[in-house]
Chains A and B, each alone.
Chain A
Amino acid sequence: MVQDYRLTIRSTSPDPRAEAIHRTAGHLGLICPVGLAVADVLHLRGDLTNEHLEILANALVDSRTQTSSWAIPEGTAVEVCALPGVTDAAAAALLHLSAVLDIPVSAAASGRRYEFPADTGPDVVATLIHRLLSNPVVETWSYGTAQPSLEIETLPVSPATTIDITNLDADELEALSRERGLALDVEELQVIAAHFAELGREPTDVELETLAQTWSEHCAHKTFRATIDLLDGNGLVVDHREPLLDTLRRCTEDIAAPFVRSAFDGNAGVVEFDQGITIALKAETHNHPSAIEPFGGANTGVGGVIRDVLGMAHRPTAITDILCFGPDDLPLDQVPDGALHPSRIADGVIDGVADYGNKIGLPTVAGAVVRHPAYTTNPLVFAGCIGTSRNWQQQRGPHPGDRTVLLGGRTGRDGIRGATFSSLTMDATTGSVAGASVQIGNPITEKLLIDALIGAEHLYSAITDCGAGGLSSAVGEMAEDVGADVELDRVPLKYAGLEAWEIWLSEAQERMVVAVPAESMTELEQRCRRHGVEMTDIGHFTGDGRLIVRHGGTPVVDISTRFLHDGRPRRHLMATVPNPNRVDTERAGVDPSVALLALLAHPNLNSREPILRRYDHEIGGATLGRPIIGIERDAPADAALLAAPADSTGIAIGIGVNPLHGLADPERMGWSVVDEAIRNVVAVGADPDRIALLDNFSFGDPRRLATLGDLVAAVDGCTQAARSFSAPFVSGKDSLNNEYTGPDGHRHAVPPTLVITAVAHVPDLTHRPTPTLQAPDNLIVLTGTTGIHFGGSHLDEVLGQPSDAHGSVPAPDANAPARYRALHACIRAGLVQACHDLAEGGLAVALAEMCIAGRLGVSLSALGHDDAITGLFSESCGRHLIEVSSEHLAQVRALIPESTVLGRVTAEPVMQLPGGTQIELAALVTAHTGRGVQSV
C-alpha cells in the first residue's frame, strides 16, 4: 500500500547548525534556549516493505556520526520545509538514490527539525522562527511535525485570454499596469494599444506580459536609453543630454582600444589581450531578490552571471562579489516591517554566493563589503564572472531553419515576473507577494550545462541564457533579426498545470537557449546525454520576422519582432544636477593612533577573512593573487591575479566602489572608483594600457530629479576617467529603483553606488608585488600627490561627522595615467618589493595593512603633505605605496617623478610616525581582525 514515511536523522555530536543558531541569536539579542537541536527530516511516499526501509536507512545514515528513526517524533519542535515548487535538491537526490537501489519511492521532500527543550516558552519559539529559522518567502513551517505536500496540486490550465486594452483611457491603462504588475507607464501602454488597434485585435495575456518583460527597466534600460533635460536649481532647462548609454558607448568607441572584441552587445563584454585567447566579462546585480530571500537571491545572482559568460561561449573561470548591507549591529526594533535584519541578510547572501561558487567549482577571487544604514532594507548584491576561450568567433546566428533548443533545468512557476519585480520599488508587502520571484539555484545543473556546452561551440549558431524574462527574453532576443516559432507544450516542466504565460515567463534557473542547425542536433544530443543535461527542441527560427509562440498548437503570441524590440517609445526624463561642496577643508584635532585603529576596525575596512574563508578561492590552481594575503593570510589584497600553472601571462581583476563619495559628490565618485579599480590592478602588475572596465550602477528611483541628476553626474565622472586612462567600458548593467517605502510612507533610496570592475592584462608573472612588506631597511615610497580630500572620507565616518558637510571628494588626477605606466615599468623591472594602493582611510590604513601583511614595522619621517592629518588620512586619487630597496631608489625616482620617500621598513613591530606617535603592530592586527595576535 502506498503511504507516506518520514526518516528523522540526528547528529550524534553537537550539530554545528545548532551552534550557528545560538551564535546568531546572541548577536541579534534573541533568547535561544540551551539544548536547541537541529535534525534532518526526509519525507517519502511509496509502497515500501520493512526491508526497503532498512536498506534506505543504511544508505542514508552514517552510523558513526548519525542516528535515525522512522517513528513520528514527539516533543516541542518546529519543522520547516520548502514551499511547493521551490528547489529541493535533497528530495531530488532521494529519488535518484531510491531508483538506483530499486526501491519504489514515488515522491520525496526534505526538511529541517528544530527541537526545543520542553520548557521553552511559545514566545521564544515564535520569535526564533520568525527572525531566524524560517523564511516564509520560500519555506513553510509547522509546530510539532510537518507534512510537506509531496506532490504539487495540478490546477486546470486555462487557455490564453485576451485583454481588452485598445479602448482603455489613460487612467484605465494605469490601473491595468498596476493590477497586473506590468511596470509599464501609460505612454508605453498607449503605444501597445495603438499597435493592436492597428492589427484589429486585442493582445493576449501572453503578448502583454512578453511586452512588459521586454520593455521593463531591467531588460530595456529605459532610463539609460532616455534623453534627459538637465535643470538648474530654479527648474530651468540648462542642457539637453543624449542617453546615458550613448555616453558610455561613445566613450568606448572614442578610446578605440585594439583589444576590445565585443562591447555592449550580447550577454557579456569580450576582450583579447593575448592573441587567440579572449576573456568574457560581466557583472550583474541581484538586489531585490536578495532583500527578501538572501540565500536564494545571491545564489541565483551568481548562477545568472555565470550563464552570461557561458552565453558568450566562454568557459567561466572566476567569480567576484561586491556586497552592500545595512549595519550589522542595528537594533532589532529598528528593522522595518517586512524586512530582514542586515546581519541575517549578510549571512544568507554570503552563504548563497559561497554555495553556488563552491559547488559549481569556480574560485571567488575579488570583491568588497560595504556597510551603510541606507542599505538596511535594500541590500545590493553585485556578482561578476569572467571566462576565457581560445579562437573565439562571434556567433553569427541564429539562421532561418535553425532549431530553437532549450537546455538545462526544468521550468516551474518560479521566478515569474522577475524583470518587472526588479523594476518596481519595494514596500512592506513585497516579501509576501513577490515570493514567486525568488528561487533557489542548483549549481550542479549549471555545472553540467557548462560541461556540455564548452567544446560544443561548433554545434550551435547562437546562444543566450534564460535570465530575467525567461524564454520570453531569451527567445525574443535571439529572434530579433529572424523571427521564431516555438511550442510551449514541448517545454519540460517541473510539475503540470502551468499556464502558457507562466511557461513563457518563468525564470526557472540553469537554462540556456541555443540555435542549432538541423545537422548538428544528433551530436549535441549525444553530448547532452553524456553529461546528463536535458535538451529539448521547442521550435525553430523562421526568417519571417515574427515571434510566434504556440500552446497546444494554437498561437498565443504573434507579434513582429521589430515592434517587440523597437516599438517602445523613448523616454524623456528630467534631472537636476548636483551641486557638491568642493572646498578643500583640513581636519583638525584628530589623534592619529585613535583614528587609525578605529578605521582598521570599521566594518568597511576590517578584515574580510571570515567571509573569504567561506569561498573557495583556490580551485583551478590559478589564483596567484588571492583576496587575502600576507604571511598570516589576514590582510587585504589590491586585486586578484589569475594565471593557470602553464600560463606565462595573467589576468588581474580589481574593484572600485565608494558610496560615501557618491553621497557627497557623484561625479567625482565616478572618477574615483574608476581610478581605484585601475590602481588596484596596476598594483599587482597589470599593464595600464590593457584594462577593460565594467560599470554597474545601483541607484534609487530615476524619476526623482535629484536621483537622475546624481546618475548623470556619475556617468560623466566615470566616462571622463575611462577616457583619461584609455580604459574602455565593455559591458555594464544598471539597477535602478533601489528604494524601499517604509511603513512611515517615506521612501528610502540607496546611496549612489557605482561598482567598477577592472579586468586587465598582466604581461609578465616574474614580479608579482603584493602589499606584504618584505624586508627591514627597505624604503617606503609614496607615488602621487596628496591633496586635502576629506569629502566622503572614512576618517569623517569614524569621527562621526556627516560626510557631505564639508570638504571635497578626491579630485581627478590628470597625471595618474602616466604615473601608473611608470609604476608598471618599475614593477616589471623588479624594482618594487611590495605595492599597495591608497583608498579608504588613506595612507595610514594602507601602511597599516602593509605592516599587518608582512608582520613588520615602519619608521616614517614624512607623510607626503605638510599637514600630518591630511598626509595620513586624505583619500586623494592616484596614489600607491611601494617598498623599494635603497639601491633601486634612484631608478624608481627617475621613472616616477612624483614620488616621495616616507621612511623605511623595520624589524621592530611598530608603526612610528613623524612627531613621535607609535602604534604597536599587535594593536593594528587586533583592530583589523578583531582577534589577538597569533604570531609576530
Chain B
Amino acid sequence: MSAPKAVVIAGPGTNRDPDTAYALERAGADASIRLISDLADDPSALRSASIAVVAGGFSHGDALGAGRLLALDLETALSDHLGAFVDNGGLLLGICNGFQVLTRAGLLPGSLTHNEAGRFVCDWVELDVVPDSVCIWTEGINGPIHSPIAHGEGRWVHDDPTTLAANGHIALRYLGTNPNGSVDGVAGVCDTTGRVLGLMPHPENHVVSRQHPKAGRVDPDAHLGLHLFRNAVERSRG
C-alpha cells in the first residue's frame, strides 16, 4: 500500500514546517512542504493529498494579530481548493499558528487571543483526549498526549463552549495546569465533520520518546504526539 500524500502548508514566517513534515513522514505519510503561493500556482499537490497541515510559526511576524495575514493569504489564494479538499474527505490540521489561521479563516470555531499571563510561554503540557469527540485525528487515542507548547496568543475563547462540547467538537483539553487561560481548558477543537482539527500544542515535536523531557521517569511511548499523525495516515489508507 502506498503512503498517503500529505501537504504541509507554509507561508512567510512559518517555522515548524520541517518538524511537521518529519512527523508526517515518521507516521508513514509521503509529506512535502508547500508555500501558499506554490499551491496557488499549482493546486494539484493539494488535490492529490489526503492530509494537509497548516504548520506553526510566526506567519508575517504575527503583525496585526497572530495568523491574521496568513489567513487572508489562504482565503485569497486557496479558499476554494481548501474547501474542496475537506469536502472530498481530506484531513486538515492547524497547529499553533496554523490553528490561529484556521480560526481566523472561519474553518474552526472560536478565537485565539493573548495568553492570560500576557506572555509567550514555552513548556510541556499533558493533553486529555476527549473520548466522545467527533474528531478523527484523535479518535481511539487513550492515554494523554504529551507535547511542548510555544505561543503567546493561545487563549482559546468561545461564547458557547458547552454546546460545542456537547456536539463533540472539543477534541483536546489541558490536563492539570491551563497554560494560557483557554475557556474550559480547551487545547484543541474540530469542525462539525471531525476532519478539521486545530490545536495550540506541538505534537510534531514529540514523535520519538527521547524528545520527552522526563524520558526515564515516564513511558513517553504511551504519550507520543505521533499518535495523531498515525491516526490520520491510517484513516487515509482506509
* A positions within 8 Å CB-CB of B: 11, 13, 15-17, 19-20, 42, 59-60, 62, 64-65, 89-90, 92-94, 96-97, 100-101, 354, 358-361, 442-444, 447-448, 530-532, 612-621, 624, 626, 629, 631, 633, 645-646, 765, 768, 774
8 A-B pairs besides A16-B117, A621-B205, A645-B210 with CB distance below 8 A are A16-B115, A19-B118, A89-B61, A93-B69, A97-B64, A359-B15, A444-B13, A448-B12
In the complex, what's the smallest C-beta–C-beta distance from A65 to chain B, in angstroms? 4
In the complex, what's the smallest C-beta–C-beta distance from B154 to chain A, in angstroms? 12
User: Which residues in B have their C-beta under 8 angstroms from that of A768?
Assistant: 210
A17 to B114, CA, bound (A): 10
User: Which residues in A have their C-beta under 8 angstroms from that of B89?
Assistant: none
In the complex, what's the smallest C-beta–C-beta distance from A535 to chain B, in angstroms? 16
B15 engages A360 (CB within 8 Å): yes
User: Which residues in A have their C-beta under 8 angstroms from that of B158?
Assistant: 64
B208 engages A645 (CB within 8 Å): yes
Contact status of A20 and B118, CB under 8 A, knowing A93-B61, A774-B216: yes
Q: Which of A89, A613, A645 has the most CB of B within 10 A?
A: A645
Pick from A97, A100, A354, A359: contact of B13, CB below 8 A: A359
Closest to A616 in B: B150
Closest to B69 in A: A93
Task: Classify chain B's interface size.
Answer: 35 or more
Interface residues of B in 101-148 (CB under 8 A from A): 104, 110-111, 113-124, 148
A447 engages B26 (CB within 8 Å): no
In the complex, what's the smallest C-beta–C-beta distance from A108 to chain B, in angstroms? 10
A358 to B96, CA, bound (A): 13
A645 engages B76 (CB within 8 Å): no
In the complex, what's the smallest C-beta–C-beta distance from A291 to chain B, in angstroms? 24
A624 engages B13 (CB within 8 Å): no
- What are 8 sample pairs from A and B whose C-beta atoms fall under 8 A apart? A59-B72, A64-B157, A93-B69, A358-B58, A359-B58, A447-B15, A530-B37, A621-B206
Contact status of A359 and B211, CB under 8 A, knowing A100-B76, A621-B204: no
Pick from A62, A101, A530, A613: contact of B121, CB below 8 A: A613
A615 engages B122 (CB within 8 Å): yes
Closest to A646 in B: B22
User: Which residues in B have their C-beta under 8 angstroms from that of A11?
Assistant: 113-114
Closest to A61 in B: B65
A359 engages B61 (CB within 8 Å): yes
User: Is B213 at the interface (CB under 8 A from chain A)?
Assistant: yes
A212 to B208, CA, bound (A): 53
User: Which residues in A have their C-beta under 8 angstroms from that of B120?
Assistant: 354, 358, 613-614, 616
User: Which residues in A have their C-beta under 8 angstroms from that of B58?
Assistant: 358-359, 361, 443-444
A613 engages B122 (CB within 8 Å): yes
In the complex, what's the smallest C-beta–C-beta distance from B223 to chain A, in angstroms? 15
* B positions within 8 Å CB-CB of A: 12-13, 15-16, 18-19, 22, 26, 35, 37-38, 57-58, 60-65, 68-69, 72-73, 76, 104, 110-111, 113-124, 148, 150, 157-159, 202, 204-208, 210-211, 213-214, 216-217
Closest to A64 in B: B111
B205 engages A618 (CB within 8 Å): yes
User: Which residues in A have their C-beta under 8 angstroms from that of B111?
Assistant: 62, 64-65
Closest to A643 in B: B210
A16 engages B205 (CB within 8 Å): no
In the complex, what's the smallest C-beta–C-beta distance from A935 to chain B, in angstroms? 10
In the complex, what's the smallest C-beta–C-beta distance from A774 to chain B, in angstroms? 7
A614 engages B159 (CB within 8 Å): no
Closest to A609 in B: B123
A62 to B153, CA, bound (A): 13
A669 to B214, CA, bound (A): 35
B15 engages A619 (CB within 8 Å): yes
A42 to B65, CA, bound (A): 13
A520 to B113, CA, bound (A): 45
Closest to A18 in B: B118
A17 to B18, CA, bound (A): 33
B213 engages A633 (CB within 8 Å): yes
B72 engages A100 (CB within 8 Å): yes
User: Which residues in B have their C-beta under 8 angstroms from that of A16?
Assistant: 114-119
Contact status of A93 and B63, CB under 8 A, knowing A614-B120, A631-B214: yes
B210 engages A624 (CB within 8 Å): yes
Pick from B13, B16, B72, B122: contact of A447, CB below 8 A: B13
A614 engages B113 (CB within 8 Å): no
A532 to B210, CA, bound (A): 36
Contact status of A645 and B26, CB under 8 A, knowing A97-B64, A358-B150, A613-B121: yes
B64 engages A94 (CB within 8 Å): yes
A774 to B214, CA, bound (A): 11
User: Which residues in B have their C-beta under 8 angstroms from that of A613?
Assistant: 119-123
In the complex, what's the smallest C-beta–C-beta distance from A874 to chain B, in angstroms? 32
Contact status of A90 and B211, CB under 8 A, knowing A444-B58, A619-B15: no
Closest to A60 in B: B64
A93 engages B118 (CB within 8 Å): no
In the complex, what's the smallest C-beta–C-beta distance from A367 to chain B, in angstroms? 14
User: Which residues in A have their C-beta under 8 angstroms from that of B124?
Assistant: 633
Closest to B10 in A: A451
B114 engages A614 (CB within 8 Å): no
User: Which residues in B have their C-beta under 8 angstroms from that of A629?
Assistant: 213
A93 engages B60 (CB within 8 Å): yes
Closest to A626 in B: B213
B19 engages A621 (CB within 8 Å): yes
User: Which residues in B have their C-beta under 8 angstroms from that of A13?
Assistant: 113
Contact status of A100 and B211, CB under 8 A, knowing A354-B120, A360-B15, A616-B122: no
User: Which residues in B have their C-beta under 8 angstroms from that of A444?
Assistant: 12-13, 58, 60-61
A496 to B114, CA, bound (A): 37
Closest to A833 in B: B216
Pick from A65, A354, A448: contact of B113, CB below 8 A: A65
In the complex, what's the smallest C-beta–C-beta distance from A784 to chain B, in angstroms? 26
Contact status of A530 and B35, CB under 8 A, knowing A16-B118, A615-B122, A624-B210: yes
A97 engages B15 (CB within 8 Å): no
A702 to B15, CA, bound (A): 43
In the complex, what's the smallest C-beta–C-beta distance from A275 to chain B, in angstroms? 23
Pick from A65, A358, A448, A616: contact of B157, CB below 8 A: A65
A612 to B120, CA, bound (A): 10
Pick from B61, B68, B159, B211: contact of A621, CB below 8 A: B211
Pick from A64, A92, A645, A774: contact of B63, CB below 8 A: A92
B207 engages A645 (CB within 8 Å): yes
A90 engages B16 (CB within 8 Å): no
In the complex, what's the smallest C-beta–C-beta distance from B212 to chain A, in angstroms? 10
A614 engages B60 (CB within 8 Å): no
Contact status of A620 and B115, CB under 8 A, knowing A613-B123, A645-B208, A765-B210: no
B205 engages A619 (CB within 8 Å): yes
A814 to B126, CA, bound (A): 47
In the complex, what's the smallest C-beta–C-beta distance from B226 to chain A, in angstroms? 10
Pick from B57, B68, B116, B122: contact of A618, CB below 8 A: B122
In the complex, what's the smallest C-beta–C-beta distance from B219 to chain A, in angstroms? 15
B63 engages A90 (CB within 8 Å): yes
User: Which residues in A have their C-beta under 8 angstroms from that of B121?
Assistant: 613-614
A620 to B121, CA, bound (A): 16
A354 to B152, CA, bound (A): 11
In the complex, what's the smallest C-beta–C-beta distance from B102 to chain A, in angstroms? 14
Closest to B77 in A: A100
B64 engages A93 (CB within 8 Å): yes
A645 engages B16 (CB within 8 Å): no
User: Which residues in A have their C-beta under 8 angstroms from that of B69?
Assistant: 93, 96-97
In the complex, what's the smallest C-beta–C-beta distance from A578 to chain B, in angstroms? 42
Closest to B209 in A: A645
Q: Which of A17, A614, A621 has the most CB of B within 10 A?
A: A621
B211 engages A624 (CB within 8 Å): yes
A447 to B19, CA, bound (A): 16
Q: Which of B16, B61, B68, B111 has the most CB of A within 10 A?
A: B61
User: Which residues in B have their C-beta under 8 angstroms from that of A60?
Assistant: 64-65, 68
User: Which residues in A have their C-beta under 8 angstroms from that of B211?
Assistant: 621, 624, 645
User: Which residues in B have their C-beta under 8 angstroms from that of A646?
Assistant: 22
User: Which residues in B have their C-beta under 8 angstroms from that of A59?
Assistant: 68, 72
